[in-house]
Structure 1
Amino acid sequence: METDIPAHVEETSSSDTFVHRLKELSQEEIKLLQNQNTRLVPEAKATRLEKDAKRHWDLFYKRNETKFFRDRHWTTREFQELINFDPEQQIVYLELGCGVGNMIFPLVEEGFTNFFFYACDFSPRAVEFVKRNSLYDKNRMKAFCADLTTEDLFENIQENSIDIASLIFVLSAIQPAAWAHVAALAYRALKPGGVLLFRDYGRYDMAQLRFKPGHKIADNFYMRQDGTRSYYFTEEELLKLFTNAGFMILTNTYVQRRTVNFKAGIDVPRIFVQGKYKKTFK
């Protein structure tokens, strides 16, 4: 895969610096991006990638099982909304694109006993891994399959029923034409006053710069070697997307992190986009 070294997601970080503007590219980085345009993914292949998206993610989890992404122990630090509640208050939480549970299970371990967790994913195999986890408790959580580009979600939850939802490294894997639907889906799921927590890949992140010719589908949208896809966002794109969906923007910015793997001798800068979007009272 193009983005699996190092560790693909920023769970190990050594910097909390916020980046408030788009990264300025060096001449070498500009050259890398221009070189990507010399050979694009053919249109017929791009269409097949969309058609086979579920299969590619299922194969991803078949190969990697629960070992690829590390548990996200950083979420309570980054998203204070997860802890700013009366412990007696019952919170209904929805993870949109849960993978194998790398976000919900750390929250369970941290003692979020007042939370009921809904967790959905595109991949049936990922959902099975969630259900097999020793921390999975049917009395406190429900994991299910849902395609966020359809209405599947509301077969398992009611509209206006969720206090907190998260969309963490998920939207980038979905074709841009479907983003508005996903944002509207999250809005409908939340209660008035509910908050959507968001993080994903930022424009000119090192993972974007590393793609070789033959992997670019469209502007800032790429195919990995395993058939999964990834988009790299600007904060302006997200501001427009979630505002149009009806959300009040609480925060919406670039964040800079470092991914560190001491064993492999890796220490690289990463750029992500992070936001908190609130469903307004009507």
Structure 2
Amino acid sequence: MASFQRKGLQARILSSEEEEKLKRDQALVSDFKQQKLEKEAQKNWDLFYKRNSTNFFKDRHWTAREFEELRACREQNPLYNTERCKVFQCDLTRDDLLHHIPPESVDAVTLIFVLSAIHPEKMRLVLLNVYKVLKPGRSVLFRDYGLHDHAMLRFKAGSKLGENFYVRQDGTRAYFFTDEFLAQLFVDAGYEEVANEYVFRETVNKKEGLRVPRVFLQSKFQKPPKDPAPPTDCFAEKRSLN
């Protein structure tokens, strides 16, 4: 297992009150409820999207600004047409992407607020699944919740599922990443680290006079240009047994 020395920005330092809150809220949700949440994960997210289809999601214009690969995909490909694209629904932890996409045919993969909704034990399956369809030398573009984001500190007692892993009142779950954990996760799945840094923002509510700190992790991990033997994964094993 590789070790990493982080450079640049570190995780947000908590106030004494915030540290005390996290120390108090150590009790974990019962195993029975955790198994129920995992079983009902898709249903809970389907309900979330149904409730918030028009009043929650905003256009992510910043993605093209932050990730030059997305600009390149849109501007260097003359066949790009926003009215023609392949859309399908799948569970990245279970459904093999090769059933929908040719191997090593994808120029860029975005995992923007995706992994945080998945149980930490299944995140590796997602990365292995993506690895097979990504072209050698191309990247996974990542942005998600970082450790000590304000959303993490808002959870009430009884919401903790594990280290940096919480459940909302509607049953959806959220994981808050450290740069070390994310780097290890990707490298263990065969990727190379290109960039992996915390992004600090501040949300201001002028009406209520509130300023809250937001912490995200923005990263880029590349599939090696000359692909070595791919990591063994459950999807390949399943196909070989059938």
If the length of structure 1 is used for normalisation, what is the TM-score? Answer: 0.73
Answering whether residue 31 of structure 2 is matched by residue 62 of structure 1, we say no
Give the unaligned 5+ runs of structure 1.
1-17, 91-112, 117-135
2:218 paired residue number: 274
Note if contact 1:147-1:153 (Cα within 8 Å) is conserved in structure 2: no
Q: Where do 1:222-233 residues align within 5 Å?
A: 222-233=166-177
Aligned length: 220
Q: Where do 1:148-167 residues align within 5 Å?
A: 148-167=92-111
Note if contact 1:252-1:275 (Cα within 8 Å) is conserved in structure 2: yes
Over 4 Å off, 4+ runs: 261-266
1:41 paired residue number: 29
Note if contact 1:36-1:211 (Cα within 8 Å) is conserved in structure 2: no
Instruction: Tell me the alpha carbon deviations over residues 188-236 of structure 1, each in whole angstroms, 9 at most, x when there is no partner.
Output: 1201121110001001111111111111011110000000000001000
Deviation at 1:268, TM superposition (A): 2.1
Note if contact 1:221-1:230 (Cα within 8 Å) is conserved in structure 2: yes
Output the amino acid matched with 2:43: R
Counterparts of 2:217 and 2:68, CA distance in 1: 17
Deviation at 1:49, TM superposition (A): 0.3
Considering only CA atoms, is the larger Rg found in Structure 1 or Structure 2?
2
1:181 paired residue number: 125
Q: Where do 1:131-170 residues align within 5 Å?
A: 137=83, 140-170=84-114
Output the amino acid matched with 1:65: S
Give the unaligned 5+ runs of structure 2.
1-6, 227-242
Q: Where do 1:1-282 residues align within 5 Å?
A: 20-37=9-26, 39-84=27-72, 87=75, 89-90=76-77, 114-115=79-80, 137=83, 140-262=84-206, 266-282=210-226
Deviation at 1:263, TM superposition (A): 5.7
Note if contact 1:19-1:256 (Cα within 8 Å) is conserved in structure 2: no
Deviation at 1:177, TM superposition (A): 0.5
If the length of structure 2 is used for normalisation, what is the TM-score? Answer: 0.84
Deviation at 1:261, TM superposition (A): 4.7
Output the amino acid matched with 1:27: S
Instruction: Tell me the alpha carbon deviations over residues 9-55 of structure 1, each in whole angstroms, 9 at most, x when there is no partner.
Output: xxxxxxxxx97112222210111111211x42111000000000000
Deviation at 1:262, TM superposition (A): 4.8
Deviation at 1:241, TM superposition (A): 0.9
